[in-house]
Amino acid sequence: MIQGNFAVAQSGGPTSAINATLCGVIEGAFSQGRRIYGAVNGILGVINDSFTDLNITFSNMDNIQLLKTTPSAYLGSCRYKLPASEDNYELYEKIFSNFKKHDVTMFIYIGGNDSMDTVRKLSAYSKKYNKGVYIVGVPKTIDNDLMNTDHTPGFGSAAKFVATAVSEIARDCAVYADPSITVIEIMGRNAGWLTAASALARSNTSDAPHLIYLPEKQLSVEKLINDVESCKARNMVIAVSEGIKNENGEYFSNLACNISHDEFGHAQLSGSARVVENILKEKFGIKTRSVELNVLQRCSSHFASRTDLDESVKIGKAGASAASEGMSGIVMGFKRTGNYSIDIITNNATDVANLEKKVPDSYISRTFNDVTDDFIEYCLPLVQGEPSIITEKGIPKHIAL
């Protein structure tokens, strides 16, 4: 077993479950009698030698339980693209010097596919120059777009929120006799998993959303109008991914405004629902509105999935165990087995980093405006159960650094 201390950091967009994963890492370190440091604001915390001693706060088990249901990233986050080591030797030496300063020999990085690129680069450098630090990635993203894992921690809770929000919006719309169209924009730049989850809102009293559009399939204005004309709902609800594209492969949101890009070159999208709203309002002349769920879908822990939180703790513990056994350059993942259970697996970081898992054709209807029963069967187990929420003055209680 590897000697030394743990360090852990969180990266990318916050979720309802990323702190549950942090709980798992902390508990995994404690079970080995280790000291564990948290790097503040992701890999930037390592670069800037900004560490906090997690043993101090979380030796209190009440704080561990509170952390599990606290949304967002307790340690803070970043969107920092670690450059290649070839031309940045001094930066990498600074990172490993800071690890050595705190006797850190095991580093767990919790994040999405871009964060796993950092895992890949740091692990390769450590191995090449015999730094003796073992780097393990633990997945996190509401987008559910990481390769080689059945699903990602954070997706189940976000999917549950999306389905709940769509259901409640549909209830709001249904009270009026006048016809209407409501377009709901859901996160998903190139992968439509979250938008697909809106289908879970359907029940024996509501068939909303009536149309679902994912970025995996292009959508022409003509098809959109034809689909709406064919729909018999009086108060129509349409779910669209933020990244839906027209027949020319252009983002709908690009028709509303210029798109900016983050440090990784990813388009930062919003406005697709507004574009769809304007198209349909002009065509049909009835009450039409758009709703953008925006950041609400990321961190709504008050109705999180207990399955998601429990699995997040489990995969965090597994990541800590893997690092202590000398594994490096790997990313933890889930493999579905049986009726519904999961095994923890490991993947090479090169098979996860900078890649995107799209919604497969088998989960998308042949008309490209809905999802299939196979998707519902896939998604339902991930949203099950509700955690016990600690409240204060009637409001969920959180813990902050």
Residues annotated as catalytic are 143
Report the SS3 class of residue 127.
helix
Beta pairing partners, 260: 268
> What phi and psi values does residue 10 have, to the nearest 5 degrees?
-120, 145
CA 131 to chain centre: 31
Decide if 141 contacts 13 (C-beta within 8 A). Answer: yes
**Distance between CA atoms of 155 and 308, rounded to whole angstroms?**
8
CA distance 149 to 346: 9
Beta bridge partners of 39: 51
Residues 66, 390 contacting (CB under 8 angstroms): yes
The answer to whether 211 and 369 are in contact (CB under 8 A) is yes
Cα torsion 52, 57, 62, 67 to 10°: value is -10
Q: Which residues contact 143 (CB under 8 A, 6 or more apart)?
A: 112, 152, 155, 187, 188, 189, 191, 193, 194
Task: Tell me which H or E stretch contains 248.
Answer: none
155 - beta bridge partners? Answer: none
Rounded distance, CA 308 to CA 18, Å?
Answer: 10
CA distance 309 to 65: 11
| Cα first-last separation, the chain | 30
Structure tokens at 147: 């390769």
- Sequence-ordered strand ranges (E) for 11-147: 36-39, 51-53, 104-111, 134-139
CB-based contact 219:279 (threshold 8 Å): no
DSSP 259: P
